[in-house]
Amino acid sequence: MALIAATLLVAAAARAEPPSPDELRDTVEGNIDGAVSLYREFLALPNDALHPDDIEALVNWMERAFGERGFRTQRIPTNGNPALFAERRHDAASKTVLVYLQADGQPVDPSAWAQANPFVPVLKERDDAGNWQQLPWEAMDEGFNPDWRVFARSASDSKGPMTQFMVAVELLDELDAAPPCNLKVIIDTEEELGSPNLAPAIREHRDLLAADLLLIFDGPPHASNRPTVTFGARGIMTATLVAYGPQVAQHSGHYGNVVPNPAFDLARILASLKSPGGIVTVPGFYDGVSLSDDDRSILSRVPDDEASILADMGVARAESVAPTLQEAIQYPSLNIRGMSAGWVGEQARTIIPPVATAELDIRLVKESDPERLIGLLQAHIESLGYTVLDRAPTGEDRGRHDRIVSLTHDVSYGAFRSDMDSPAGRMARAGLETLYGEEPILIRTMGGSIPIAPIIEALSVPAAIVPSVNIDNNQHSPNENLRLGNFFEGIVMLMAVLSQAPP
């Protein structure tokens, strides 16, 4: 697969119609070696956003890779790692498509991986016993099995989709079918940190990023592995709740029945936040969310096998916020993501701990105001008889108040949701429907979070997500992987979408 010489202006495509599905697949099949070679080269670059030197090398590589595919690149400075902007213009285009991609990955613990180095990608196949066995890369010379997998950090989240995008653009050029639009790309290098610096950078460079619609190539499809377009994602806010007891841990024999244990205070507060059925009991938490009959009809068409999902997790019941999974994730959620008080296991000791801590996350929906929700949470805790501070208590605080907790929070980013018939939705749906001959699964809002809301708010553009990796990819976990069949089919999918004229 030869690289395209760098240009800033792409000539109008020589063909009147987009390539057919068979032509797309044949072209990808004929360029497997080049696609895998690019993918392996990309995967070999460490990309933990907490290591700026690694991100610098990563950005250097991306500048070259996008430049070789006809893009002009420009770094967008932030208060952290730089974002990368790439653009190529089409001389006959009247519409501009902005694409969001992610380059950074989760930290790695090499000892938890079944390979020597998570940044040296390996090829594996599953044996008859269900175990993954490494193959030499030369096995690809004899053809490939779509069920083979590439194991490496960011294989699926999200160097896989980034590679699919670069290859898709390159192969459309090879077919004289360059995307019939001006293409702009924003590449996030701090997504796994919650994109703390992206929003102000987007606002400052809104003219540079201006577009008619936004496409996001990221993540896995619906659990059925059928083609999917997603139109929204929940936002996320985190909070830390700390209950305070004695200034120093005390002997539970000497002072049991006398000195209050903050773990019980924390337990009382946490238990009060949800009903036994899992419904958040903070007054007003769900206010503003309503689903129309049309909304419920759309949600009901998503083919979730909820009984199987719960059985696979070893869970016998679902929480009762809503009657179905898809309806439930249209509401904000409140989760305890971790708790700590004293020691456990072999480290356990007979003490009254000085503090008890709970880490919370709140998934936001479009109707959620995060500051309002944290205010409701604080008011609820105060109604239980606790003094709520935004810091650790002083000695004076301890003398004045008999029940003290602190509550601090951080809003990572808000939720977004675009109309399914917006230009972004129509372009994504048309590409996948042309490729597969049927409408893809349409997801109104997915449960997870991606930092898209700041882009949408700053640029006033509709958005759609086209996922292109296998759902069982160990995303964020050791032994992350991407199935080869999904890798190549994802290239075809992106070529089909990008070959559509924006409506």
Per-residue pLDDT of the chain (503 residues; tens, 9 = 90+): 444 444 456 655 457 789 999 999 999 999 999 999 999 999 999 999 999 999 999 999 999 999 999 999 999 999 999 999 999 998 889 999 999 999 999 999 999 999 999 999 999 999 999 999 999 999 999 888 999 999 999 999 999 999 999 999 999 999 999 999 999 999 999 999 988 999 999 999 999 999 999 999 998 899 888 999 999 999 999 999 999 999 999 999 999 999 999 999 999 999 999 999 999 999 999 999 999 999 999 999 999 999 999 999 999 999 999 999 999 999 999 999 999 999 999 999 999 999 999 999 999 999 999 999 999 999 999 999 999 999 999 999 999 999 999 999 999 889 999 999 999 999 999 999 999 999 999 999 999 888 889 899 999 999 999 999 999 999 999 999 999 999 999 999 999 999 999 99
Residues 52 and 270: their CA atoms lie apart, in Å, by: 38
Residues 115 and 113: their CA atoms lie apart, in Å, by: 5
- Whether the CB-CB separation of 358 and 336 falls below 8 Å is answered with yes
DSSP state at residue 118: T
Tokens of 283: 């007054």
Radius of gyration in angstroms for the set of CA atoms belonging to the chain, rounded to a whole number: 25
Residues 95 and 211: their CA atoms lie apart, in Å, by: 8
Q: Residue for token digits 């996320």?
A: 236
> Terminus-to-terminus CA distance in the chain, angstroms?
31
- Whether the CB-CB separation of 47 and 54 falls below 8 Å is answered with yes
H/E element holding 395? helix 395-400
Of 342, 335, 378, give the one whose Cα is nearest residue 360. 335
- Whether the CB-CB separation of 318 and 346 falls below 8 Å is answered with no
Q: 0.85 cut: is pTM over it?
A: yes
Of 207, 8, 15, give the one whose Cα is nearest residue 91. 8
Say if residue 20 is preceded by a cis peptide, omega within 30 of 0. Answer: no
CB-facing half-sphere around the CA of 216: CA atoms within 13 A: 29
